[in-house]
Amino acid sequence: MSKTVYNPFESAQQQFDKVAESLGLDSGTRELLRQPMQEIHFTIPVKMDDGSTKVFKAYRIRHNDARGPAKGGIRFHPHETADTVRALSMWMTWKCAVVDIPLGGGKGGIVFDPHNLSANEQERLCRGYVRRLATQLGPNQDVPAPDVMSNGQHMLWMLDEYETISNGRYPSMITGKPVGMGGSLGRKEATGYGVVYVLKNLLKEMNIPIESTTASMQGFGNVGEYAARMYSELGGKIVAISCWNQVDAQSYTFRKLDGCDVEQLASIKDAFGGIDKEKAAALGYEVLPGEEWIKQDVDILIPAALENQITPAVFPNISKQVKVLCEAANGPTTPDCDPLIRERGIIVLPDFLCNAGGVTCSYFEQVQCSMNYFWDIDEVFEKLEYCMTKAFKAVYKLAVENDLYMRDAAYTIAIKRVAEAVKQRGWA
């Protein structure tokens, strides 16, 4: 198997460079957009429960805010790197632009595993993160949100620290908050539902009834669970779900060929998306190695975990039956695998279009907080489906009319919008 190590930021730049060249962007605009505008690398000292002090590395990176305040989650991961955060901030810029919301791209990260810290230690770490960044955050500057292994409680601690420092109430400075504390109804479902809104529209264009399709999924966190729920509710059949097991420190694939019961699996998963393998086996699921998810004879693959999962090394394992690659995760496919996917005739729903439901609903949360008026859940989902459908139709139309790979079509729309904002501001 290939030992190639993929740098996510280099992958993001390669994807950008390809489309920037085809658009004929001038060198100044190209150089501005292929790297972050601002990076902050810092450390956070935290007093642990045992009285000792540990120091944690952290990042906040702003890629581009020409179209509006930067927007992006804060990822908690023991292997977080600056280049991962750079890539994610860049993808956030394109994500906001492709769904045409007035925000830019940012991202944050703290290098740690929340499994290994108590709730009190996590709270002190969250508050420390905000103290180091207080002058850089805010509803008109940079708006964080949850990401991998962070959640609404973490966001609320950060909001409280920011408001204490600022001596006021600024609920729109952070999103993904609990409902009742400035959070929006529908936010927890938004990314996963957005994935399926886009998938549903693609299948309609392909004249394939969703209820006749099967899918295999990697990742069963918030995004994966709610994508699986909606897909199943619409009649699709999920035959396999792969996720990480914290106890064994490895991933497993849970397979049931006559269809996974998503509600059932959700009832036996932990707070970080890991399914209890003993309970799953008792319920009749085959427990297979983690990589088996990609080998299933299904119509749709849904990577909903981390980046760099679909590479030339694993591509031969993908069944000839697969028609659609639905990228619910950020950067799951490496650039050198795109030509293989296109040659096979698999249609890709690119990540920054497919999973933009989360940032779209975060934008809705900002708007509601600013108005101090909150919508009911049906209104949230109606607006979300409208935005995701509109974005998909624009990307699909461009791809068909110009014989473009769907990823290139999405990039073309997003980069054009950001480049135009940069030029109108006189930055390039």
Q: Which domains does the chain have, with CATH numbers?
A: 38-184 (3.40.50.10860), 188-349 (3.40.50.720)
**Average pLDDT of span 165-185:** 96
Per-residue pLDDT tens digits for 185-198: 999 999 999 999 99
The proportion of the chain whose per-residue pLDDT surpasses 90, expressed as a percent, equals: 93
What is the Cα–Cα distance from 385 to 368, expressed in whole angstroms?
Answer: 18
What residues are annotated to the active site?
Answer: 107
Residues 62, 67, 69, 75, Cα dihedral to 10°: -40
Cα angle: 305, vertex 369, 179; to 5 degrees: 55
Alpha helix segments (H runs only) across 253-328:
262-266, 277-282
- At 2 the pLDDT is 47
Q: How many CA atoms lie within 13 A of 300 on its CB side?
A: 32
**Span 168-177, average pLDDT:** 96
Residues in the chain: 428
Return the amino acid letter for 279.
Answer: K
Start-to-end Cα distance in the chain: 44
Give the tens place of pLDDT for each residue, 229-271: 999 999 999 999 999 888 888 999 999 999 999 999 999 998 7
215 strand-pairing partners? 238, 300
CA distance 428 to 369: 34
pLDDT at 1 > cutoff 50: no
Assign 292 a pLDDT band (cuts: 50, 70, 90): very high
This prediction's pTM? 0.93
